[in-house]
Amino acid sequence: MKCPKCEVEMQLGYLQTGNLIAFNKQRHKISLNPKDPEDVMVARKAFSSNDFSGYICKQCGLICFDYLNPKSRL
């Protein structure tokens, strides 16, 4: 996959994380729980980690992954 930002070939792999992942409009200092209607709780697992299939661009640092279908390839 070509990077949509810099056009360099991206590396296929997995984004691996701990229990919670959130994408929020503003940085939350204490809780990752969504506070704004546009905030997204990407993943929430109480006792295990999360992993998402995706691509990383080592040139510009962009990571692309599908959070709705974590095991699918983009």
The partner residues of 16 in beta bridges, in order of sequence, read 51
In one-letter notation, the amino acid at residue 41 is: M
What's the pLDDT at 44? 86
The candidate with the shortest Cα–Cα distance to 42, out of 66, 9, 74, 13, is: 66
For the chain, the domains span 11-65
What is the mean pLDDT, run by run of 10 residues, along the chain of 74 residues?
96 88 84 85 85 93 90 75
What's the pLDDT at 55? 95
Three-state secondary structure call for residue 40: strand
In angstroms, the first-to-last Cα distance of the chain is: 8
What's the pLDDT at 12? 93
